Structure 1
Amino acid sequence: MSIVKETCGSVWRRWDLHLHSPGTKLSDAYGGEVDENGNTDDETWDAYLKALEDSEVQVFGITDYFCFDSYFETIKRYKKKFPEGQKVFFPNIEFRLTDNISSSGKHVHTHVIFDHDPAVCNERKFSEFLTALTTHISQGDVDVKCSNLSGKQYEAATISMRDLKKALKDTFGNENLYLIVTAANNDGLRMADTQSSRSLSISDELDKASHAFFGSGINTNYFLQTTRYEDDAEALPKPVFSGSDAHSFDDLKRLTGDERNFPPTWVKADTTFRGLLQTLYEPKARVYIGDTPSVLVQQSREATRFISKLEISPIAGYSGANGVWFENVSIEFNPELTAVIGNKGSGKSAIADIIALLGDSRQESNFSFLANSRGNKKFRTKGYAENFLGKLTWKNGTEQERALDLSIDPTSPERVKYLPQNYFETLTNEIEVNDFRREIEDVVFSHVEDSDRMGKSSFADLEDFKTTQAKQDISSLKVKIRELNIEIVELEKKAAPSFKKSIEKQLKAKEDERHALEQSKPKEVPKPAEETEEQREINTELTVAGDVLSGIVLKGRAAANQLSSLKVNRQKLVDLKESVSSLSSSLTVRRAEIVSLCNELQLDADNIFKYNIDTSSIDKKISDVSQEIGALVKDNNLTIDEKTDFQKISSIPDLHAAHKFVETKIKALKETLSAPHRKYQTYVQSVKEISAKLQELKGDPASPQLGTINYFKAQLSEIENVLTQKIKDKVAERETLSKGIFEAKTKVRSFYEGLKKRVETRLADINTDEFTVTIDASFVPTGGFEETFFHFVNQAVVGEFRGTEAGRKKLQSIMADVNWNDADSILVFINEVIETLKKHPFEAQVKNIKELYDFLFSFEFFDAKYELRLGGKNLNQLSPGEKGLLLLVFYLHLDKEKTPLIIDQPEDNLDNDSIFSVLATCIREAKKSRQVILVTHNPNLAVGADAEQILFVKLEKHKNYKFLYESGAIENPKTNGHIVKVLEGSRPAFVQRRLKYHIR
């Protein structure tokens, strides 16, 4: 028997810490022959061990009552039968406590699970322990020890929790060698008599004495609560494990996880006792009771978004003249959080850069190890990078290989999101925060519903689409030309061969994604033979319900597509009406000019100039479309039951309610099925779900959604068939309108206000007294206002703005009281600027007065902004550390993108309290939905965020630059040693600091 060691750290595995073996002291129902010494025959044992070996469960707790006989017999026989077996066994001794807390008179059962290392927990120590532990049974004046129990005494014996803890401490001393796990249900704490204060008090004391509990998923949330005690004392969150409690071969069917009332337990940890102990520190994140942890489901269905392995090797024939560097490096990555640690210059950033290179990150210009700029080449100096190949393998098996001296492929989709240290520092030190703001906006865009994106793929594109009319009103010719030129440039980009190549590669990536999803289809489960009429009826109901559910899903998808189309059409109608109204206003002005001239020339203007504009048909169309949208989004609060006609349901909220009802019905029906039928129905449902996702990935051929396979095919078709004519049409289109600049800008601001609402709730989840992020959609001066203003003003002549520094201070003092959200306040400011200039010769100070007036009165010097504030300060006022923290929070907590997130040493300039309280929390959330690889030298990130994998790297420069690495879980002793040494400055230093802080 050996221990399974994972180089990719803590991973989810099936554990069953409560099952009995043949010969168990009570309720042994395994059958078989028993000899005169009470030993079960070999055939029965072989069948038992084979069932364990064949199961998906990796770790077992072998349980017996008041003794360890079963454990040692199981270990001995397993090693003999499966000498290369990988299963792990912990000794689990089950006790009946003297405590009685239920009204039925049942005694509470508790277990002690011990470290399976024979060096610390062995037969001698267990014998000492059982000898030290007395039961309530007495013979004469002597209390019977657990070691002396025999026969029916096993059925009658009880012990006290106090005696148990004392015997454990006296025998083992170190509490890290055992766990007290008490039953929650049946003979457990949750069966306490709620009408009895005494029972509740005893129950709480037993809870406090226990490290964990045996129960089911319904108990998990209760034991995670910190307010569960009657005396209001703060409780520790504790893990709950579901065990099979098998006493027979029939019970061993529970190991499949398909048996009713015996859901499987998954533990994310090394298969060691230290791994089990880790669940005490992270009970919510490390233990899951149910079918499959969501990360494993996601990893299977989105296999193209998880990095499986990184390999780096020298090219054939490389002599090592310029260093050994990467010699046969092969690093497997955890699907959740990997923390890359090491001393300075150890190659941490090398790992991040190489992954980013192979994942076609657009941050190549900010690489540090693979830097390739003039005067900063480092490893890309000739003779180094070209001698090594990197290969990235994804979970679906696809590979990306590239020499380390090559650049990314800009036509390929970006498969990883990379925040290199250089880029991070550039953004956070940026004075005008324009690039920083764009990064934030990309994250905000991820929260815009697909139906509201209007077919746009970026924040900037959606912004242009939603505010086009407002921008047209701001500058009659300028905005229209700008808009058309943007469209023309976009179309010409599409006409370029590189764009077509990019679309083809994105289509290839989607086809790979489709293939990966198809590969995730479960192995076919044949439909089991019908058992009973009741089973047949249930199966029929499930089939009907499944068809109904599929119909609801299809109808929901169609409704969502229709809603998106209607919203686009309504926006176009609104824009059309505004264009027509603006045209009407312009025509009215122009007609007045014509009438004046006609009167002067004695002409009848009505015979020359006639027009009629009627927007009533547009208004009716807007009303009709709005009604259709309203019908689709209206929640009719329908009562969904068996009599509901699902064919008549049409609104999206009602479809959601119907979906939930049918889904619940299917789940309830499945619970009534036998295990084979339930397994078959689970297979059928899984196939349907994957088929639906495949259809969603392909998209509607007639009207494909953005990012689907048919969308990219449509793009290619457009490029090949209609693009040339589109370009001609757009080049020919030129017209502009302008009126009400401030009112038009207000419409732009309303766009930002709509986005604000989308992320405020998510931000509220992480706001604290010390860290508060708010959003303000308002008008702010443009970054280049002062520079543009002084382009018109000669600061070398006498005037209030004379002198570079003095002039700027004067302008800033006038600006200080401006309310940029009030047109009158802005006009007061403009007039004050002009009056200030006029205190001295005007023409001498202003280089071009008309251009200055055009600049000031066109309101071009302020714009609507989506302004973030941290602690009341806007982005321009934040320190580099504060900006860095804000950016990380957005990517970790708000970004909905699912590609792997690679972050290189983000903690610089951040205080430790912020790192632990904010970043660690955000990382914990981020790793639930995407793979995170974090290069760090801060323990608050690696340990505080409970990294599933620690990758320790070092570069031995004295050995010809040889790169070495080790990988494991936090709970792995060797890995733990690296963490303490690298992140804490060695164990003695850590202990010394702990003592100085008076932390015991």
Structure 2
Amino acid sequence: MTLNKFSNWMRVDLHIHTDWSKKTKQNDYKGNFSVDTLKTKLKENDVQIFSMTDHNIINYEAYNEYYDAYNPVEDPLLLVGVELDIVVTGGRPESYHSLLIFNHSDKINAKRLYDALEAKYTEKGIGDYDRVLSIEEIVVLFPNEDFFFIPHAGNTKSILTSYKDDLNTAQKMVLLMQSAFEKVPEKNVSRYNEGFDKHLVESFRKKEDKAYVQFSDNHNAANYPCTGKEGSNHEFYYLKGSKSFETLRLAFIDPKSRIMSEEQYSSLEGQTNYIESLRISGDPVLEDTEITFSPHLNVLIGGRSSGKSLMMSMLGEKIDGVDSHQNIYDVDFKNANIKSFRDASYQTVTSIPKEEITYINQNEIVSYFEKKNLLVLAKAAGKEDEYHFQKQQFTQHKDDLNNLLEGVLDKYNQVGGHSEFNKNFVLHGTTIESLLSGEYVFKLENEQIFKEHDKQKLIEDSFENLENLAVNSTIFKQNSFLEFSDEELKIIQDFENLLSLKKSLVQEKDLKQTKKKAFLDETKKLVIEQNKLLSLSARRKADALDSMSQFKRDIGQRFSRLAQLKKTTNQFQDFDYSLQKEMLIAENIRLVVEIKSDLSLNEIFLDGIRGGNTSESIYTNLLGVLSGNKTIKSYNDITVETLRRKSKALLKEVYKTLDNPQDYLKYEDGSTSERNSPGFNSEKYLQIILHNPTSKFVFVDQPEDNLGNKFIAQTLVEILREVKFKKQVFLVTHNPSIVVYGDAENVIIAHNDGSRISYEQHVIEDPSAQKEICSILDGGEYIFEMRSKKYNIQKLLKDNENE
């Protein structure tokens, strides 16, 4: 058991009896009591603060024996205490039990308090087994004593039972005193809190700041930590702090942050690694020191140019995963060594994966919004991969747009340019006369027949599918990791045989297809040859039929190409190049990546056509270009290459925007980082990075520079209190709320005398440290004072006066 340099969790047991309890209660102790036995048991169970609280008496002899051999480093701290029977006139039962734990840990005061109690009982003429005092008598008896009042509140001798006909009085009394409740079942806590809250104004309610503790109530030191004389082993409660009376005070003021049950402590998410310490030795600027860090919240404070930010920079220099720290100081950190929990000894640099680290330099938060670069925020929130995926959607969107444009250009090119587009289709009168003649001719529409029976596309697709299946089957079979059985290998072989069989079937169909085509082609040749043997007028009719077929093909091709051009231009102009992608980056906060389309593609594209009409479609305007009624601006021709150069130039800004989309944050109320102040955005940013589940180490230099006081007091401190038990946090700050309400486990104070920089380590439960913290932080004294005033005491006093 050693003294901690930071506030740490410790077992506390303030309810242990000695054999002197038998002097005031019949058969109240089992076995022989021994101070040495109790000390050994306490150390075996890692108890660091305790009290010997006998019934209505203080065993000053046991206190003397313990204090005579007390080692403040190795031994648990013993606070003077007693368990009193407190009488309630008219109560049923008339008395309840309460611990009184005094701010004393020495022989003189133990004997003085013993004498005061004994004198009071003698004055009242009360026998040893009938000792009781009223709360009023206790207050008068110890008017200047600093003590905690810890009544039983859940079993026999409960304060609530004695005051069951007047609970209001009991509740107000407990609120007005330095107190906690002992022996309260967990299921009753919320009901008790509701009872307290009704005496408080709204702003003081539902604070979870009423303290509930469980101690062993041990009556048999030889069997410690048993409860009572021979009960089951006690499940310890943990208080956070150091070995001092002030630890109790802060725990009872802020139980949510400083008191845990055995179950809560066991479920605490401990760090598998953390920065354990930093040692500076032999440096010309920095004083020799060794600083031990808390696994939870470490704050660095100091005056202007004191070296507090230098310490943060030093830590950044000593961790290989930090790549963003700013070393702006003319100090060589070679004389500083660091040690993480995983390091066997001090290292020049410790190794921590960069994805586990969030490191924010001073004023860096607000700059992210000013530079409009939220990639860093996405990284800090553990969302970098998702951010890049969202950006890839914009690249794909750009490719889709470009493919649509190329489709338009391809179909434009197929139409054939100005001369081809304006080519006339002529069917001569003689051809028509021949078509209408009554001559007999041979006729075969072989292309139409073949088209109706063409299976070539199906054949090609089937071949491709079978080839892919065969390749994948081979890869599948050769995968030794899958450990195929003989039966499974036979199934695979049967499947491959099936593929081979189907491949033969497709080859057979392909051969039949080829033969059909050859047969039709040969038949067509025979028809042509036979028509040559007919009369002149019959031959003219045969030629006219061929011309008519070609005429229909040419017209059909023209309309088909124009239809394809219309289809692709419609797809292009209907394409919405605006795009918005969102990702949840923190609770109720989304990171939005977006581009907006101020102009339609119709407007953009037609800006390149002289005489372009935006009320008409791109297709109609391109027909105007092809017909010669319109031209491409700045060019003398209408070739596809000219149209490509022009359209690419027109879409350059759209492509550029898609390459660099805008990003911003969208908040729960619908507002965005674009329309909020830098301070408001910084608040949201800090919330995001502190809640990043992948980050195990957080370093922030003076976050309050860009934050509002209300946010710090109401939001930031609550976030810190939550996340500091999940990750190690380092903050440089000059804001007392962060230190005090954030309940920092470790306070490092930087000093600069002009020639040397030094660092001191403190805990806020140390009264002398509180004074120094107050002298450095503006408003620190007020914050400490306000923290100690948990309740609206003035209202309670006024209510008591009215009653």
- The bucket for the TM-score relative to the shorter chain is 0.5 to 0.7
In the alignment, is the contact (CA less than 8 A) between 1:161 and 1:206 conserved in 2?
A: no
Gaps of 5+ in 1: 33-39, 135-143, 315-319, 372-377, 447-456, 480-584, 619-700, 704-736, 764-773, 794-823, 828-841
In the alignment, is the contact (CA less than 8 A) between 2:77 and 2:243 conserved in 1?
A: yes
- Structure 1 residues 390-429: aligned runs within 5 Å: 390-398=336-344, 401-402=347-348, 413=354, 416-424=357-365, 426-428=367-369
Q: Does 1:88 align with 2:57?
A: no
Q: Deviations over 1:449-496 (max 9, x none)?
A: xxxxxxxx72334436777765643433999xxxxxxxxxxxxxxxxx
- Tell me the residue number matched to 1:208: 175
| Alpha-carbon separation, structure 1, partners of 2:52 and 2:654 | 83
Q: How much does 1:903 deviate?
A: 0.8
The equivalent position to 1:947 in structure 2, one of 744, 764, 784, is 744
| Alpha-carbon separation, structure 2, partners of 1:426 and 1:308 | 31
Q: Does 1:340 align with 2:300?
A: yes
The equivalent position to 2:400 in structure 1, one of 459, 473, 476, is 473
The equivalent position to 2:219 in structure 1, one of 234, 247, 252, is 247
In the alignment, is the contact (CA less than 8 A) between 2:12 and 2:48 conserved in 1?
A: yes
Q: How much does 1:266 deviate?
A: 0.5
Compared CA separation, residues 937 and 313, structure 1 to 2 (3 A): same
The equivalent position to 1:57 in structure 2, one of 47, 51, 54, is 47
Q: Deviations over 1:247-276 (max 9, x none)?
A: 1136513389x9747311100012111111
Give the secondary structure class of the aligned counterpart of 1:198.
Answer: coil
Give the secondary structure class of the aligned counterpart of 1:895.
Answer: coil
In the alignment, is the contact (CA less than 8 A) between 2:171 and 2:195 conserved in 1?
A: no
Give the residue type in structure 2 aligned to 1:157.
Answer: R
In the alignment, is the contact (CA less than 8 A) between 2:718 and 2:742 conserved in 1?
A: yes
Q: How much does 1:308 deviate?
A: 0.5
Q: How much does 1:896 deviate?
A: 1.0
| Alpha-carbon separation, structure 1, partners of 2:82 and 2:722 | 37
| Alpha-carbon separation, structure 1, partners of 2:425 and 2:656 | 36
In the alignment, is the contact (CA less than 8 A) between 2:9 and 2:238 conserved in 1?
A: yes
In the alignment, is the contact (CA less than 8 A) between 2:172 and 2:199 conserved in 1?
A: no
- Tell me the residue number matched to 2:13: 16
- Tell me the residue number matched to 2:438: none
Q: How much does 1:230 deviate?
A: 6.3
Q: Deviations over 1:660-703 (max 9, x none)?
A: xxxxxxxxxxxxxxxxxxxxxxxxxxxxxxxxxxxxxxxxx979
Q: Deviations over 1:385-414 (max 9, x none)?
A: 17x3332211123567338xxxx99x9645
In the alignment, is the contact (CA less than 8 A) between 2:363 and 2:703 conserved in 1?
A: no
Q: Deviations over 1:220-260 (max 9, x none)?
A: 8438835546667766722112111011136513389x974
- Structure 1 residues 25-44: aligned runs within 5 Å: 25=23, 26=25, 27-32=27-32, 44=34
Q: How much does 1:928 deviate?
A: 2.1
The equivalent position to 2:332 in structure 1, one of 372, 380, 385, is 385
- Structure 1 residues 277-316: aligned runs within 5 Å: 277-291=249-263, 293=265, 298-299=270-271, 302=272, 304=273, 306-314=274-282
| Alpha-carbon separation, structure 1, partners of 2:683 and 2:705 | 10
In the alignment, is the contact (CA less than 8 A) between 2:368 and 2:376 conserved in 1?
A: no
- Structure 1 residues 909-988: aligned runs within 5 Å: 909-957=706-754, 961-984=755-778
Give the secondary structure class of the aligned counterpart of 2:744.
Answer: coil
- Tell me the residue number matched to 1:506: none
Give the secondary structure class of the aligned counterpart of 2:651.
Answer: helix
| Alpha-carbon separation, structure 1, partners of 2:67 and 2:84 | 27
| Alpha-carbon separation, structure 1, partners of 2:353 and 2:116 | 66
The equivalent position to 2:155 in structure 1, one of 176, 181, 186, is 186
In the alignment, is the contact (CA less than 8 A) between 1:359 and 1:416 conserved in 2?
A: no
In the alignment, is the contact (CA less than 8 A) between 1:360 and 1:416 conserved in 2?
A: no
- Structure 1 residues 610-649: aligned runs within 5 Å: 611=457
Give the secondary structure class of the aligned counterpart of 1:298.
Answer: coil
Q: Does 1:439 align with 2:376?
A: yes
The equivalent position to 1:349 in structure 2, one of 309, 319, 330, is 309
- Tell me the residue number matched to 2:700: 903
In the alignment, is the contact (CA less than 8 A) between 1:345 and 1:955 conserved in 2?
A: yes
Q: Does 1:885 align with 2:683?
A: yes
Compared CA separation, residues 422 and 472, structure 1 to 2 (3 A): same
Give the residue type in structure 1 aligned to 2:8.
Answer: V
Q: Provide the identity percentage.
A: 19
| Alpha-carbon separation, structure 2, partners of 1:986 and 1:904 | 19
| Alpha-carbon separation, structure 1, partners of 2:63 and 2:85 | 25
Q: How much does 1:190 deviate?
A: 7.9
Q: Deviations over 1:819-877 (max 9, x none)?
A: xxxxx9xx9xxxxxxxxxxxxxx989xxx964563247779569585632487642233
Compared CA separation, residues 741 and 940, structure 1 to 2 (3 A): farther
In the alignment, is the contact (CA less than 8 A) between 2:381 and 2:689 conserved in 1?
A: no
| Alpha-carbon separation, structure 2, partners of 1:62 and 1:441 | 55
Give the secondary structure class of the aligned counterpart of 1:458.
Answer: helix
- Tell me the residue number matched to 1:685: none
Q: Deviations over 1:876-905 (max 9, x none)?
A: 33333223222112112x211242101111
Give the secondary structure class of the aligned counterpart of 1:401.
Answer: coil
| Alpha-carbon separation, structure 1, partners of 2:665 and 2:71 | 65
Q: How much does 1:109 deviate?
A: 1.1
TM-score of the superposed pair, with normalisation by structure 2: 0.65
- Tell me the residue number matched to 1:6: 4
| Alpha-carbon separation, structure 1, partners of 2:337 and 2:103 | 40
- Tell me the residue number matched to 2:235: 263
In the alignment, is the contact (CA less than 8 A) between 1:223 and 1:238 conserved in 2?
A: no
Compared CA separation, residues 851 and 400, structure 1 to 2 (3 A): farther
Compared CA separation, residues 609 and 205, structure 1 to 2 (3 A): same
In the alignment, is the contact (CA less than 8 A) between 1:342 and 1:952 conserved in 2?
A: yes
Equivalences, count:
615
In the alignment, is the contact (CA less than 8 A) between 2:595 and 2:657 conserved in 1?
A: no
| Alpha-carbon separation, structure 2, partners of 1:475 and 1:843 | 22
Give the residue type in structure 2 aligned to 1:879.
Answer: S
- Tell me the residue number matched to 1:116: 104
- Tell me the residue number matched to 2:611: none
Q: How much does 1:117 deviate?
A: 4.4
Gaps of 5+ in 2: 427-444, 466-479, 483-567, 608-614, 619-632, 636-644, 795-803
Q: Deviations over 1:57-110 (max 9, x none)?
A: 111121012222x2x22232224455574211112211122238997x474211
TM-score of the superposed pair, with normalisation by structure 1: 0.53
Give the secondary structure class of the aligned counterpart of 2:80.
Answer: strand
Give the residue type in structure 1 aligned to 2:139.
Answer: K
Give the secondary structure class of the aligned counterpart of 1:402.
Answer: coil
Q: Deviations over 1:943-991 (max 9, x none)?
A: 121111111111222xxx3221211211112321221010027869999
| Alpha-carbon separation, structure 1, partners of 2:783 and 2:720 | 27
Give the residue type in structure 1 aligned to 2:771.
Answer: G
In the alignment, is the contact (CA less than 8 A) between 1:253 and 1:259 conserved in 2?
A: no
Give the secondary structure class of the aligned counterpart of 2:403.
Answer: coil
In the alignment, is the contact (CA less than 8 A) between 2:152 and 2:158 conserved in 1?
A: yes
Q: How much does 1:187 deviate?
A: 2.5
Give the residue type in structure 2 aligned to 1:421.
Answer: Q
Q: Deviations over 1:800-828 (max 9, x none)?
A: xxxxxxxxxxxxxxxxxxxxxxxx9xx9x
Give the secondary structure class of the aligned counterpart of 1:253.
Answer: coil
| Alpha-carbon separation, structure 2, partners of 1:780 and 1:470 | 11
| Alpha-carbon separation, structure 2, partners of 1:900 and 1:702 | 39
| Alpha-carbon separation, structure 2, partners of 1:244 and 1:868 | 52
